[in-house]
Amino acid sequence: MPVAEESRFFPAAPDETYRGLVQAARELAELKAVDDFARSVVFAIRVTARTPGADVLAYVVPGDGGCHVRMAETAGPGSHLVAESDRLTALLDRTGELIGYLHDRRAPARWAWTRSD
């Protein structure tokens, strides 16, 4: 059951964004599943070894001038969504850094941030 959703716009092509998202998930979370056709990944984030954390579905949505990465997390019992949200933000930041590198090999991508609960 989704309990929170985060979204960030990246001014990059969907395939570039997806590659950055997959790499960021590999670096910063426990990657569970990858779907290249749907441009989606499922990964787990854990706050501590004693908390259940959350599984997160992240997917790329093409749009005008770039695309959005949307993340919907499914919390386990007793999960700490605020701390996990910080990890989602770090993962989105890393995705942007990787896209900036993939896109023009210079500065990280610029993006707009939106969040809905």
- In order of start, what are the domains of the chain with their CATH numbers? 2-116 (3.30.530.20)
Q: Dig out the tokens for 4 from the structure.
A: 């929170």
The CA-based dihedral angle spanning residues 107, 115, 92, 3, taken in that order and rounded to the nearest 10 degrees: 180
Tell me what the pLDDT averaged over the chain comes to: 76
Burial of 105 per CB tally in 10 Å (0-12, 13-18, 19+): exposed
Could you read off the pLDDT of 53-97 as tens digits, one per residue?
A: 678 889 999 999 899 999 887 655 545 555 556 777 788 888 888
Could you read off the pLDDT of 7-36 as tens digits, one per residue?
A: 889 998 999 999 999 999 998 888 999 999
